[in-house]
């Protein structure tokens, strides 16, 4: 599928084309999806679904976005979105020049821009943020066509409110992750950790599988499953080097019921079989 490359000017009303260079923010309220793969050359989108449900396909991954949820699209993202139910669809989309987003973040929250750009992209908004959004859009709709400066400033204030909320949520996630990391490190001192699966890890850490997936991808760039496999293999290598346990025993100690699968997975990481590793390092 061909990727459309859209710039900020594409989104601006012809009514304001004469003052285009002074405008950093615009918005749309749509009742339709946009099933065309596209990227944003010089702008961000803050998109809120007010009614209905859509599937946003961002960078090849599906995200289900329902009522009162926000998703962010940066210039690094390629996406499209399609409706997935028969409910009336209402989408509120605020479009911001990239330089304007950067300026807001640098003024409000030093060093937060990389997190906003590269981190979490989907949020469920609380009522007070939705109220702010709806109130400001209603205010904009009361302006005349000539009051484009008021529209620009009101939309800027709206983006400031959205980013402030996202920052507070990301800080809470960071603090939660720090506590979670302490617990994870404590679990790793218990030999039973190396036999557990992802569902057991979720139970021990107190997260749902979806939450744990998001936290691990944000922190390590891999899934909890892949993280566990890495821990099991590193522990296996240590046992092969410093103990006399047989390969079969070590296989069981790290939760593998099938020694052939264990040998294959071990070799994929270390380039040699467990026995060859022991002969080389033991």
Per-residue pLDDT band at 185 (split at 50, 70, 90): confident
Q: Which CATH superfamily is domain 188-281 in?
A: Homeodomain-like (1.10.10.60)
Same fold: 4-175 with 188-281: no
Architecture label for domain 4-175: Sandwich (2.60)
- In this prediction, residue 146 carries a pLDDT of 84
Q: Supply the pLDDT for residue 15.
A: 67
Identify the CA nearest to 35 among candidates 2, 8, 67, 13. Answer: 2
Mean pLDDT over 209-215 rounds to: 86
Average pLDDT over residues 222-244: 93
3-state secondary structure 200-256: HHHHHHCCCHHHHHHHHHHHHCCCHHHHHHHHHHHHHHHHHHHCCCCHHHHHHHCCC
The confidence score (pLDDT) of residue 46 equals 98
For 124-147, the pLDDT digits (tens) are 999 999 999 999 999 999 998 889
Asked if residue 282 has pLDDT above 70, the reply is no
Q: Domain segments of the chain: what residues?
A: 4-175, 188-281
Kindly report the pTM of this predicted structure: 0.65
173 pLDDT exceeds 90? Answer: no
Residue 171: per-residue pLDDT: 79
* pLDDT reported for residue 149: 92
Instruction: Categorize the per-residue pLDDT at 17 as very low, low, confident or very high, splitting at 50, 70 and 90.
Output: low
Does residue 276 carry a pLDDT above 90?
yes
pLDDT tens-digit readout, 247-273:
999 999 999 999 999 999 999 999 999
């Amino acid at each position: 599928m061909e990727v459309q490359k859209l710039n900020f000017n594409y989104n601006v009303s012809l009514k304001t084309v004469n003052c285009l260079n002074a405008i950093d923010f615009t918005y749309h309220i749509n009742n339709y999806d946009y099933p065309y793969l596209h990227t944003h050359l010089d702008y961000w989108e803050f998109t809120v679904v007010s009614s209905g449900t859509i599937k946003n396909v961002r960078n090849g991954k599906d995200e289900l976005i329902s009522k009162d949820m926000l998703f962010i699209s940066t210039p690094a993202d390629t996406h499209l979105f399609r409706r997935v139910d028969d409910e009336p669809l209402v989408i509120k989309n605020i479009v911001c020049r990239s330089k304007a987003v950067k300026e807001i973040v640098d003024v409000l929250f030093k060093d937060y821009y990389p997190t906003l750009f590269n981190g979490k992209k989907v949020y469920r908004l609380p009522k007070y943020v939705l109220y702010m959004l709806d109130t400001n859009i209603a205010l904009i709709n009361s302006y005349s066509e000539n009051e484009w400066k008021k529209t620009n400033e009101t939309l800027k204030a709206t983006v400031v409110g959205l980013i402030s909320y996202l920052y507070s949520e990301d800080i809470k996630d960071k603090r939660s992750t720090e506590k979670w990391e302490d617990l994870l490190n404590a679990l790793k001192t218990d030999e039973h950790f190396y036999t557990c699966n992802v569902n057991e890890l979720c139970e021990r850490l107190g997260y749902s599988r979806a939450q744990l997936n998001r936290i691990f991808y944000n922190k390590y760039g891999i899934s909890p499953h892949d993280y566990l496999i890495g821990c099991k293999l590193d522990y296996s290598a240590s046992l092969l080097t410093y103990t006399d346990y047989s390969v079969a025993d070590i296989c069981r100690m790290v939760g593998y019921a099938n020694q052939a699968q264990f040998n294959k997975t071990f070799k994929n990481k270390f380039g040699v079989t467990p026995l060859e590793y022991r002969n080389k390092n033991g």
